[in-house]
């Protein structure tokens, strides 16, 4: 049998396995119409909201909104990665994968040994922290930070004692010290790299420890935190700290809270903000944004209020926007970081946190407010200065967002949006012709364009709208984009739109990105249903007047059959309209 490169292998395996059969090994499915339904294996539930579509070979859960194909299903259920899922399914389908070269094999082995070693180290440190006298300094540090044992254990915090404790432990277990050095845990002389530090495992989104960060317990130590070096298992810019613990809550709440420090995240979880994560000691990277985007489309940024924090916030906001994610910014009153804020709030932490979240402005607005603070509009020099800053700020966002942002900045500062969009981009930004210009303050949005925007932000609302509305009932200007989005949704579920957006006509892409950046006022299923009803009603009224016009034609032409038919149609439609208006 010929061996396959990995792209071919995915296609070949996908063609040979049946998603329904694979799912059935884990979930009891019942057939309803053309789909299969069962209890979702990825969240707790009593009634089935997990749907498998055999035609599309795709699955979707209406409860936790996870979705995907056979590979994502196996990835999640077996807690493996894409490659691992491919291997499992290839074996099952009898597809032979490309053989690893000796070099690749060696790297894979080393990676596995390093991961094993890290797991062992995490267990050892945790044991020392809670079960030995040597763990006392670590316990004291946690107490002073008011982190309880339950939270500490969720994060698998541990303590590395002074000296060569870990080396001795490995010797006793007859394990390789070389592997421990390879994993960045031990110096050449056998002393522990993290000695006299509280160690915090950095785990991937499935809970596997990839590295450690460690905080000193000594007051005289200059370096407060030290981190594992990059190893075969750990590339800093690819990991999101605490994503394994936060992922369910992120899905449930619809946003992730992104913080700067690991300890901020630990405190936050302790006080009930369990959708908090951190970018793991680096500025945000593309890989990290992509990883987060698997779980949510919105990031709530909580950064320090100093200059570095503000710069990091701006970087995260523009990077997220480049990936089609929305951001909001939480401003902490009277506290330098979330840790300080939550500990000061004590028992009120959860309520005070909710207040802050409710007040959080968008990432763009936060930068705009900073850039225009203290502006005196009657001072031309100041106007030019602020206009320059805002121009730079707007320019850091994807082109499709800039027009809307310039309008927002004009409203906020009174500086003309033309001035804010001027230079160095000479080409004017194309404006969508359909409906969306209606977002401009004061103008009213048509029901059709409102619905399109809502569906762009919340594709899952198609489930409610689809049975109520045929595309013909929409205005012509909204119809094409509606149909395209519906098709993307049917192919790819809630993430289908994003996956296929690049193939949309530019003006539709523009429209959708704007909706992402500045969603319509209310985005939920009930509003979607209301809009769909209004659209139907408008369409029926339009048809009604059309029939009345045809009716007078027919009367003039004395076409009696036609007159009778049209009269009956007009009557029926009139009744339906009345009925709908009474209900609505
Ligand atoms: Zn689910």
Mean pLDDT of 335-346: 86
Tens digit of pLDDT for each residue in 543-562?
Answer: 888 888 787 777 777 777 78
Pick the closest to residue 522 from 441, 454, 423, 578 (CA basis).
Answer: 454
Whole-number Å distance, alpha carbon 254 to ligand 1 midpoint, is 14
Q: How many CA atoms lie within 13 A of 167 on its CB side?
A: 17
Q: How confident is the model at residue 346 (pLDDT cuts 50, 70, 90)?
A: confident
Give the model's pLDDT for residue 281.
Answer: 64
Give the model's pLDDT for residue 257.
Answer: 97
Tens digit of pLDDT for each residue in 88-146?
Answer: 898 888 777 766 667 777 777 888 899 999 999 999 999 999 999 999 999 999 999 88
Give the model's pLDDT for residue 426.
Answer: 41
Higher pLDDT, 555 or 50: 50
Flag whether pLDDT at 454 surpasses 80: yes
* Non-local CB neighbours of 307 within 8 Å, separated by 6+ positions: none
Whole-number Å distance, alpha carbon 322 to ligand 1 midpoint, is 28
Tens digit of pLDDT for each residue in 278-293?
Answer: 987 677 888 888 888 8
Whole-number Å distance, alpha carbon 50 to ligand 1 midpoint, is 6
Whole-number Å distance, alpha carbon 26 to ligand 1 midpoint, is 13
Sign of CA dihedral 373, 374, 377, 379: negative
The CA distance from 538 to 556, in Å, is 28
Give the model's pLDDT for residue 2.
Answer: 44
Whole-number Å distance, alpha carbon 64 to ligand 1 midpoint, is 4
The total of other beta-carbon atoms located within 10 Å of residue 430's CB is: 12
Whole-number Å distance, alpha carbon 443 to ligand 1 midpoint, is 40
Q: How confident is the model at residue 304 (pLDDT cuts 50, 70, 90)?
A: confident
Tens digit of pLDDT for each residue in 460-517?
Answer: 899 889 888 888 888 888 888 998 999 899 888 888 898 888 888 888 888 898 888 8
Give the model's pLDDT for residue 455.
Answer: 92
Flag whether pLDDT at 583 surpasses 80: no
Whole-number Å distance, alpha carbon 244 to ligand 1 midpoint, is 16
Flag whether pLDDT at 434 surpasses 50: no
Percent of the chain whose pLDDT exceeds 70: 94
Whole-number Å distance, alpha carbon 1 to ligand 1 midpoint, is 39
Whole-number Å distance, alpha carbon 232 to ligand 1 midpoint, is 33
Flag whether pLDDT at 428 surpasses 50: no
Among the residues of 360-395, which ranges form H helices? Answer: 363-371, 380-395
Q: How confident is the model at residue 371 (pLDDT cuts 50, 70, 90)?
A: very high
pLDDT averaged over every residue in the chain:
86
User: DSSP label at 96?
Assistant: P
Query: Crossing angle for the helix pair 447-457 and 476-492, nearest 10 degrees?
Result: 20
Whole-number Å distance, alpha carbon 493 to ligand 1 midpoint, is 14
Q: Are residues 21 and 93 in contact, defined by beta-carbon separation less than 8 angstroms?
A: no
Whole-number Å distance, alpha carbon 511 to ligand 1 midpoint, is 30
Mean pLDDT of 56-81: 89
The CA distance from 234 to 209, in Å, is 9
Whole-number Å distance, alpha carbon 45 to ligand 1 midpoint, is 8
Whole-number Å distance, alpha carbon 65 to ligand 1 midpoint, is 6
Pick the closest to residue 197 from 237, 222, 224, 176 (CA basis).
Answer: 224
Give the model's pLDDT for residue 482.
Answer: 93
Beta bridge partners of 35: 32
The CA distance from 22 to 136, in Å, is 49
Tokens 């990031």 sit at which residue? 299
- Please report the beta strands in 225-370, taking only residues with DSSP state E, as ranges in sequence order: 225-227, 256-259, 276-278, 298-302, 326-329, 361-362
Whole-number Å distance, alpha carbon 495 to ligand 1 midpoint, is 15
Whole-number Å distance, alpha carbon 37 to ligand 1 midpoint, is 12
Mean pLDDT of 376-383: 83
Q: What is the pTM of this model?
A: 0.59
Flag whether pLDDT at 269 surpasses 50: yes
Whole-number Å distance, alpha carbon 464 to ligand 1 midpoint, is 18
The CA distance from 104 to 100, in Å, is 6
CA distances from 514 to 155, 252, 335, 507 (A): 38, 24, 33, 11
Higher pLDDT, 191 or 287: 191
Whole-number Å distance, alpha carbon 33 to ligand 1 midpoint, is 20
The CA distance from 453 to 512, in Å, is 7
Percent of the chain whose pLDDT exceeds 90: 37
Tens digit of pLDDT for each residue in 388-423?
Answer: 999 999 999 998 899 999 999 999 999 988 889 876
* Non-local CB neighbours of 112 within 8 Å, separated by 6+ positions: none
Terminal C-alpha separation, the chain = 64
- Do β-strands 158-160 and 225-227 pair in parallel, antiparallel, or remain unpaired? unpaired
Higher pLDDT, 560 or 165: 165
The CA distance from 310 to 105, in Å, is 44
Whole-number Å distance, alpha carbon 60 to ligand 1 midpoint, is 8
Mean pLDDT of 236-255: 89
* Non-local CB neighbours of 13 within 8 Å, separated by 6+ positions: 86, 89, 90, 93, 95
- Find the length of the chain: 584
Whole-number Å distance, alpha carbon 441 to ligand 1 midpoint, is 39
Long-range contacts of 367-372, Cβ-Cβ distance < 8 Å, separation of 24 or more: 367/313, 367/314, 367/317, 367/393, 368/393, 368/405, 368/408, 368/409, 368/412, 368/413, 369/412, 370/310, 372/409, 372/412, 372/413
Q: Supply φ then ψ for residue 476, to 5 degrees.
A: -55, -35
The CA distance from 282 to 539, in Å, is 53
């Amino acid at each position: 049998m010929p061996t396959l490169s990995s792209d071919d292998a995915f296609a070949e395996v996908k063609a040979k396995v049946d998603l329904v059969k694979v799912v059935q090994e884990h979930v009891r499915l019942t057939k309803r119409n053309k789909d299969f339904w069962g209890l979702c294996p990825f969240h707790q539930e009593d009634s089935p909201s997990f749907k498998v579509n055999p035609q599309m070979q795709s699955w979707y859960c209406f409860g936790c909104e996870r979705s995907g194909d056979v590979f994502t299903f196996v990835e999640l259920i077996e807690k493996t990665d894409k490659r691992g899922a491919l291997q499992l399914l290839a074996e099952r389908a009898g597809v032979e994968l490309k053989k690893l070269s000796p070099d690749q094999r060696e790297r894979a082995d080393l990676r596995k040994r390093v991961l094993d070693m890290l797991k062992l180290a995490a267990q050892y440190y945790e044991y020392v922290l809670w079960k030995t006298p040597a763990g006392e300094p670590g316990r004291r540090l946690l107490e002073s930070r008011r982190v309880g044992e339950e939270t500490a254990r969720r994060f698998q915090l541990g303590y590395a004692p002074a000296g060569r404790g870990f080396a001795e432990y490995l010797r006793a277990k007859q394990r390789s010290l070389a592997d421990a050095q390879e994993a960045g845990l031990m110096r050449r002389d056998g002393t522990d790299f993290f000695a006299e530090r509280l160690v915090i495992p950095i785990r991937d989104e499935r809970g596997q420890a990839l590295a450690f960060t460690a905080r000193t317990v000594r007051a005289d130590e200059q370096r407060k935190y030290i981190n594992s070096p990059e190893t075969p298992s750990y590339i800093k810019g690819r990991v999101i700290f605490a994503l394994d613990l936060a992922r369910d809550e992120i899905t449930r709440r619809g946003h992730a809270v992104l913080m700067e420090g690991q300890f901020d995240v630990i405190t936050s979880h302790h006080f009930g903000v369990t959708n908090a994560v951190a970018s793991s000691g680096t500025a945000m990277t593309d890989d990290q944004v992509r990883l987060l985007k698997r779980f949510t489309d919105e990031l709530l940024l909580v950064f320090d209020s100093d200059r570095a924090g503000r710069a990091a916030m701006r970087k995260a906001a523009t990077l997220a926007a480049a990936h089609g994610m929305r951001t909001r910014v939480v401003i902490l009153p009277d506290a330098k970081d979330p840790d300080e804020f939550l500990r000061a709030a004590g028992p009120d932490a959860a309520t005070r946190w909710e207040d802050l979240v409710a007040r959080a402005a968008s990432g763009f607005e936060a930068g705009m407010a900073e850039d225009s603070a203290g502006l005196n509009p009657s001072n031309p020099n100041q106007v030019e200065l602020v206009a320059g800053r805002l121009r730079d700020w707007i320019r850091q966002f994807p082109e499709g967002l800039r027009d809307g942002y310039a309008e927002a900045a004009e409203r906020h500062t009174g500086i003309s949006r033309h001035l804010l969009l001027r230079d160095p981009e000479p080409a004017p930004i194309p404006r969508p012709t359909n409906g969306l210009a209606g977002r401009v303050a004061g103008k009213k949005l048509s029901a059709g364009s409102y619905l399109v925007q809502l569906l762009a932000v919340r594709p899952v609302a198609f489930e409610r709208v689809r049975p109520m509305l045929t595309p013909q009932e929409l205005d012509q200007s909204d119809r094409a984009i509606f149909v395209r989005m519906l098709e993307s949704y049917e192919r790819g579920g809630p993430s289908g739109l994003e996956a296929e957006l690049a193939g949309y006509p530019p003006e539709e892409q523009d429209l959708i990105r704007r909706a992402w950046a500045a969603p319509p006022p209310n985005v939920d299923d009930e509003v979607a249903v209301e809009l769909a009803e209004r659209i139907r009603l408008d369409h029926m009224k339009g048809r009604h007047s059309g029939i009345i016009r045809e009716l007078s034609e027919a009367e003039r032409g004395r076409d009696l059959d036609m007159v009778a038919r049209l009269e009956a149609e007009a009557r029926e439609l009139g009744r339906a309209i009345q009925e709908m208006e009474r209900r609505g």
